[in-house]
Each structure stands twice: as C-alpha cells, then as structure tokens.
Structure 1
C-alpha cells in the first residue's frame, strides 16, 4: 500500500537522523532556546530602534565590510527595495539577472508591480551566466544582480576571477551591482576569502538568517549609509518596519553563533557525500564536487516509487534521506536538493550509500 500523509507524520515523529540540514525543532523548543540565549537585561526594539537591533545591524555591516545595514523581515522585501534605489539613482529601470533568480520565479513580479522595474535575463537556466552574456545585452542597465551561490542549479559559483571580471565590467559602465547573498555564508570555503572581500565586489548585499543559520526568519540589506537610510523609508512604506523584530534578531544572532563557525564542516561533508554517492549508477550529482554545502541529487527510476521507498527506509532505519522528488526534463530522472547542516554530520558517510541502495531496491 502507498504511504499516506498520516503514515508520513507517524514515521517522521519516530525518526532520529536527518540527512539534510539541522534537526527539526518545534516552536516551543525554538522559543525555549531563545529564552536561554537572550540577555535578561535586553530591551525590545521599537520600530527599528534600540540597542538590540542596531547593534546587530552594525555587527553584520562590519562583517560584510559595508557602511550600514538594516534588518528586514525577508529578502523578498530587501532586494527589490535595493534595486529600485539603485535604478532610480542611475536613471535606468532595467535590472539584469539569471533566469532562475528568486525575483523572477518566486515573487509574483513584485519588482515590476511594486517598483516599476524592468528585467533582463542573462544566459540559460541550466548554467551560470557569463561576462559575454552580460556584454550581449543591448539595453542600458541600472543594476546587475548576482546570486551566490546559484541555488536552482545546485549551488554553483563562478570562479573568483570570473566574478571580479563581471563586477568590474559593470562598475566601469555605471551599473550598480547587488549581491543576492541568501546563501553567502556558505561561499567562504570555496572562495577562501572573508565575507567583506566577497561583498566588497558589490555596491549592496542581502543576507538571510533562516537557511543554514536556522533562524526563525529575517534578512539584512547592507550597503552605503545613504542607500540604507533610503531603504528604511521603503521598508516602512511596505509594512516591514514592525513595532518589534526582536524574536527574529535574537534567533539570527543565535544562528550566527551556532552555525557560522561550522560552515567549513558542512561544505566538507557535502563533498564527502557526493564522492560516496557517485559510485551508485542510479544517481547523478550537480555540481560534482559540490562548491558549497548544497548539491542536487538526480535519481533514476519511477518518482512515486522512489519517494515511497524513501519513506519506507525512514520507517526501517529512523533516517530521513528525502521527503519528495521534483520532476526533471529527463523523464527517467527526478531530483531533490540536499543542503548539509549539523544533523547531516551525525550520519557517518559510509552508512549513506547502503541507505540509498535500499531505496532503489524497494523502488524496483
């Protein structure tokens, strides 16, 4: 019989090991941890003011080598605001980015409907865009957005030399450069450079706190002081200047302390897992080797049977490998995104291949 949603909930509640990211926590556990973490003397922020939030903004601005920073509820708010400001200053409405940019596929055209921007797509969906792709754009651009790493194609990164060439070319032509750094924290091992040096190639940068850092929610936009001051006004206009954001700020700060120092471990584990799974003929990996803590695994076989088998393996071993698969353009393959975190480190790499072998065995 197929695994039902009720079965999944029961199996998940019994599982003790998780291949992806961190161990799941209930809201009660998250809030309990924050209570233990918070300074008993700390006072709530109020409409973006107060020591708790301003000190964190200053800390992130310093880490990224920028003059100022503002904490917002989401990157979906940060990025269009930054792009609007840059485009208005340049007197051009066009923003160039990769076809799988978050603004393009996840935000319901907010850049256009809320901010009146126009987009130019660079390159093909399946690959990183290049300097030649950028040079081929006939229209004058106000801003260039680069995502590091490019999530939808497995967390791929351009080389440092390519990144310098692209941003330098844009800067020489008066095009503002903005970094979608939703997963910037995971790029440091690949580039072997400090965050400030990476962010230094860009006029502004956005970073997230709820992914590898495991925060509740929240993001920071960092850049020149006058740009951030203007961004605060737009934050207010869009309803993002909440009376208090301290649960998100505390959670972000806790995540920084807990996970930022372990990024090297997470990325190394991703490479280990990729190397081990490369021996299985039913699996293809992108990119291989992984460039961050992320990789996309392409599994050959019937998608529904593979998902069902993964849940049965979870029931047998109390180990969650994956919960769903996404169809691909190649009918024989489906895929899932694997991001490595603290829970991933607890599963010995030599045990992972037999678990996947069992999935394919059950799916036959």
Structure 2
C-alpha cells in the first residue's frame, strides 16, 4: 500500500461515524492522552525496566498465573529467547512448530538465523498439531510451539481437550511447551477457561500488548522465575534493555484495564456479525462460527474493486464496512480479515445486511 493510499484510508476511517471491522485510528496526541488510564503520568518514568514496566510485568504474571513475566520491546525477541531457553535446557536444537505460525510466516525464521535452531512441522493442516502428531515426531525437539489462535489459518483454536492433550503429549516426549499467545487474550471464550488455566498448560507463554488490547507496542514472556532470569540476560544481549519504555508500558496497562474485560463480549458479537456477513451474495466465512472476535471473509470480486468500494463508502457515507482485501489462491475470490471490537457492538443483523447491500452495489461500477 502506498503512503498516499494509507493516509487516505487513515483519514477516511478516522472520520467515520460507524465502523463494522476494526477500530477508529488514533493520532499520537490521542495515544498520549490515553495513557492516563494505565497509570499516573506524574510518577517517575522507568529506568531500564523498573517503575511502570515492573508494574506491567507483575500484572501479566498475575493474569497468567505464572511465577514471573518479562517485558520485551517486540514479540519476535521474546519468542527467540523462549526457544533458545528450550534448546539450552534440553540439548535439542529442533523446534516443533506450524508452517503457518508467526515464527515461519512473520519473523523471517529468526530462530534459525540468530540461534542456529531448526524446525520440524508436526502438521501442515490449517490448525494446531494434535497430540498424536506430536507423539509421532521423528526426532527429539526442545520446544513444541502452539499458536493461540493460529492467525494465518483463520484465527482458529483447538478445543480445550485437544489443547490439553497436545500439551501433555509434548511433555511426554521430553519437550517444553511454548504458547505463541500473541492474541491469547481473545482465546478464553472458545476454550472456556481463564488465561491462567490456559497458561498453566505451557512452560512459557508470549503475549502481545498491541494485538487485541491496543497498546502501542511491546510483549511479555511469562513462566518460571528461572525462565525470567534467563530472559532478562538474553533480552539485554539482544538489544532489548531499553532506557525508558513507559509509553509502551502505560498503554499496555490501559489496554488491560479497558479492553481486556470487553474481549468476551466482542467474541460473542463476532458470531452475529459472521452469520450476517455469510448471507452476502457469494460470501464465505471461516471459521463459522468464529473462534475469537476475528475471522476471515471471502467475496467473489477482485480485491482492488472491494477496496475501492470500501473507501468510497467510508468517504461518502462515513461508514467503514470491510477493507484490506487481498487476492487469494481461490479463483475469483478475495479475502479480508474482520475484527469485531467496540465500534461493531451496535451493529445488528439488519444493519449489516443493509450496509452490505450498499457496499456490494458499489461494485457494479467496476
């Protein structure tokens, strides 16, 4: 996307009165004002990880029921530390992960380039591996990675019983269990268990602060005190011991205070939104019903035409429907990801059908 197109979309979305997918973008001034919800701006800033950063670490450890949590500037760095820890403790440099996971798709195979680790894939199916697939691994592994939810497969989750069985199978073969929980915040409704109950199935858990809860940036790696000590050493060695990170910490705390309690409501409403969108001509929704408050939507039109229609609807009617369309390997179908958050809660099935008809009608011009 060009800079001009991105700026045009930002302006159009910011001016919208109604938003079905996503949230209204904020300026830097908005974000600074929002930090009051995370802590007292008259307090001292952090100094290499104390103050609000420590407060955030303690909050995450409490939410996940772990002995400790360590703040990282990026999830990529946090995940590499977790995998290195597994390799060091087990003596096995192989990591079992999914080819659609963040480590393969979004982190440029950092585990291989920086830590000399290699991967094996328990499955290539668009879901997390099963207990049977983990048990059948042909070589010893230091860590088994499970992504909750598996974003690039459509934000899909296993059932609770499947997740518990996969965790037990990993431990039975002598591997650590690591949850790539960038969006684990939104997984509790489908799994019908609390964050601490979910994290208890893993030896380490990574969570993101800008995904789901809307922080500026940052992540945490949670687990034992031994893991935390290792993580702090390798965070420093990796260049993550930043002088001050109070904006990221306060915005994360604000998100935990404001957004996290509302996520189950978003997940429930996503089921209504998905069912309504599935009635559009030629539409496909996956998964149906959604496992989280995010899901995928396909329509039988070119991606550019759909993006143009979405932008025109926003600029002319102040309504944001669904944008970010991409071509797919399904002939004639384009796909986008729908995120149901606070702005979508007021949309009824009838609202979605009525605006959807107007959106589709705009495609006739292409």
Shorter-chain TM-score range: over 0.9
User: Partner of 1:15 in structure 2?
Assistant: 16
User: Partner of 1:63 in structure 2?
Assistant: 63
Structure 1 residues 85-94 or 120-129, which shifts more?
Answer: 120-129
1:361 shift after superposition: 1.9
What are structure 2's unaligned runs of at least 5 residues? none
User: Partner of 1:92 in structure 2?
Assistant: 92
TM-score (norm 2): 0.93
1:4 shift after superposition: 6.7
User: Partner of 1:231 in structure 2?
Assistant: 231
User: Partner of 1:51 in structure 2?
Assistant: 51
1:236 shift after superposition: 0.5
1:198-217 matches, cutoff 5 A: 198-217=198-217
SS in 1 for 2:34: helix
CA distance in 1, matches of 2:126, 2:193: 27
CA distance in 1, matches of 2:132, 2:28: 47
CA distance in 2, matches of 1:272, 1:282: 18
TM-score (norm 1): 0.94
Structure 1 residues 278-287 or 228-237, which shifts more?
Answer: 278-287
Deviations for 1:92-139, whole angstroms, at most 9, x for unmatched residues?
A: 000011111111011122111111111112312534432233233211
User: Partner of 1:316 in structure 2?
Assistant: 316
**Does the 8 A contact of 2:69 with 2:221 survive in 1?**
yes
CA distance in 2, matches of 1:178, 1:10: 40
**Does the 8 A contact of 2:127 with 2:158 survive in 1?**
no
1:322-341 matches, cutoff 5 A: 322-341=322-341
Deviations for 1:21-62, whole angstroms, at most 9, x for unmatched residues?
A: 3221111111122246531552211112x3322232122112
Are 1:39 and 2:40 an aligned pair?
A: yes
User: Partner of 1:26 in structure 2?
Assistant: 27
- How many residue pairs get aligned? The number is 361
1:200 shift after superposition: 0.2
CA distance in 1, matches of 2:158, 2:9: 39
CA distance in 2, matches of 1:92, 1:184: 27
CA distance in 2, matches of 1:305, 1:155: 25
What are structure 1's unaligned runs of at least 5 residues? none
Are 1:263 and 2:263 an aligned pair?
A: yes
**Does the 8 A contact of 2:128 with 2:147 survive in 1?**
no
Deviations for 1:327-356, whole angstroms, at most 9, x for unmatched residues?
A: 111111110111111122243442112222
1:164 shift after superposition: 0.9
1:233 to 1:6, Cα distance in 2 relative to 1, 3 A: closer
CA distance in 1, matches of 2:29, 2:54: 27
1:1-364 matches, cutoff 5 A: 8=9, 11-35=12-36, 38-48=39-49, 50-364=50-364
1:183 shift after superposition: 0.7
CA distance in 1, matches of 2:201, 2:348: 38
1:246 shift after superposition: 0.9
Q: CA RMSD in A?
A: 1.9
Segments of 4+ moved more than 4 angstroms: 3-10
1:289 to 1:60, Cα distance in 2 relative to 1, 3 A: same
